Amino acid sequence: MENLKKSMASLTKAVPHLIDSIIVKGQGAYVWDHTGKRYLDFTSGIGVVNTGHCHPKVVAAIREQAELLLHTHQNTAFHAPMLRVLEALAEVVPPELDTFFFANSGAEAVESAVKLARQATKRPNIIVFQRGFHGRTIGTMSLTASKTIYRAGYQPLMPGVFIAPYAYCYRCPQAEANPEKFGFDKDCRWALEELDFILHSQTAPGETAAMLVEPVLGEGGYIIPPKRFLQGLRKKCDEHGILLIADEIQCGFGRTGRYFAFEHFGILPDILIMAKGLASGMPLSAIASSSQLMNQAPPGSHGGTYGGNAVACAAAAASIRIYKEENLLENAARLGEKLLEGLKKLKSEFPSIGDVRGLGLMAGVEFVQAGGKVPDKEKAMAVRNACVRNGLLILTCGTYDNIIRWIPPLITNEEQLDEGLAVFKKALELAA
């Protein structure tokens, strides 16, 4: 263990850590460090271990596959775990999206989707949205607009990217003036008006290949837009032959109480991007689209050595079965209501909380300075750090890092949720 601690000094400082401990074990909703301290992990590896740490069925699938075949390149031959994943995905992905491509990471999947959109439409430009996060490669950081830290020092980035406002009711100029008229089931105008302006002023519809959007914003602030915002995007894309790409890397696989967040909004994307919760911690990502669209990419135009790895696919097939067999979507929806109820109660007690929002087990608590809506990063960090000291791992997000995001594993039970809320309340009191 001492040698491991010495090795920590050799890790790049470009990767900050929430705690300095060495995590040695994970089980369900908990992890343990090298000192034996137990943490309630409401980061879920940033939305990755939706089935919990080391789910027995996932571990068994990995062990079984590791004794049979570790890897064969997907361009060489099919392998059984990949075919099992395809069978499982066909049960949860809309039937219109019937063709898949596998990669390793979310960023790779995003780049795959953008390449496909450009090939299929023969158009160069991509519209993304403020506060969106799509990755850290040169291509995906060009599409990311959540924080300057992901872009600063790397310019010039990929051209042909245009950034439109995301529908963020808490900070929408029209919603602030008439809050009773705007919300999830209500109106949405300003962001769509600004999108239309961009299509008239910056990138013409005829040169726009796709709109890339997170149906629920992840790293950018855990923001749930009104239904009419995403419906408006779908309508605008249909009008102009633009493809709609849904980045469900963080909000997919049961996180919002449905397999995919776009299902809450009554829309269907042309391309669906998946990662994180797909394989319970093993590196696997995918895009899904119609065969008509997917087959417009020339053979061999995209790939990768490890995409669709056999062991990762075995974990994914097991994970997708678990979502159904253990009713994890229903659990996420039910506990999500309880979580929001608890957080809204705390909002009424602590004026530093400006907004609480969420779908399923994907909730955000936004901290602001007293008497207004000025982001309060210091308060959010103080609350987060107090939570960590008291055994709750939790993360901040948002452009100003003033939002605490709740990402419990979907196997979390009521007792564990109550434990997390109790630690959070204590942290609020300590930071008051």
Q: Where are the domains of the chain?
A: 2-55+327-431, 59-325
Query: 376-397 pLDDT, tens per residue?
Result: 999 999 999 999 999 999 999 9
Mean pLDDT of 188-214: 96
Write down the pLDDT at residue 432: 84
**Is residue 19's pLDDT more than 90?**
no
Query: 47-58 pLDDT, tens per residue?
Result: 999 999 999 999
**Is residue 133's pLDDT more than 90?**
yes
Write down the pLDDT at residue 12: 59
Cβ-Cβ contacts under 8 Å for 72 (sequence gap 6 or more): 79, 310
Res. 1 pLDDT band, cuts 50 70 90? low
Class of domain 59-325: alpha beta
Kindly state the percentage of the chain with pLDDT values over 90.
Answer: 85
**Is residue 119's pLDDT more than 70?**
yes
Kindly state the percentage of the chain with pLDDT values over 70.
Answer: 94
- 62 or 171, greater pLDDT: 62
Write down the pLDDT at residue 293: 96
Residue 323 burial (C-beta neighbours within 10 Å; 0-12, 13-18, 19+):
buried
**Is residue 115's pLDDT more than 80?**
yes
Mean pLDDT of 150-161: 94
Write down the pLDDT at residue 302: 78
**Is residue 372's pLDDT more than 70?**
yes
Mean pLDDT of 119-129: 97
> Among residues 313, 311, 303, which one has the least CA distance to residue 278?
313
DSSP string, 270-302: SEEEE-GGGTTTS--EEEEE-HHHHTTSPTTSS
Mean pLDDT of 9-30: 80
Res. 2 pLDDT band, cuts 50 70 90? low
**Is residue 92's pLDDT more than 80?**
yes
Write down the pLDDT at residue 107: 97
Res. 65 pLDDT band, cuts 50 70 90? very high
Q: What does pTM read for this prediction?
A: 0.95
Write down the pLDDT at residue 324: 96
Write down the pLDDT at residue 283: 97
**CA 168 – CA 353 distance, rounded (Å):** 17
Write down the pLDDT at residue 5: 61
Write down the pLDDT at residue 222: 97
Write down the pLDDT at residue 148: 94
**Dihedral pair phi/psi, residue 32, rounded to 5°:** -125, 140
**Is residue 176's pLDDT more than 90?**
no
Has domain 2-55+327-431 been given CATH number 3.90.1150.10? yes
CB atoms within 10 A of CB 372: 9
From 230-239, 302-311, 353-362, the region with the lowest mean pLDDT: 302-311
Contact present, 237 and 312 (Cβ < 8 Å): no
Q: 392-393 and 395-397 as β-strands: parallel, antiparallel, unpaired? A: unpaired
Res. 6 pLDDT band, cuts 50 70 90? low
Res. 75 pLDDT band, cuts 50 70 90? confident
Write down the pLDDT at residue 114: 97
Write down the pLDDT at residue 371: 84
**DSSP letter (8 states) at residue 11:** S
**Is residue 216's pLDDT more than 90?**
yes
* Mean pLDDT over each residue of the chain, to the nearest integer: 93
CB atoms within 10 A of CB 6: 9
**CA 220 – CA 215 distance, rounded (Å):** 12
Write down the pLDDT at residue 18: 82
Q: 403-406 and 363-367 as β-strands: parallel, antiparallel, unpaired? A: antiparallel
- 48 or 7, greater pLDDT: 48
**Is residue 30's pLDDT more than 80?**
yes
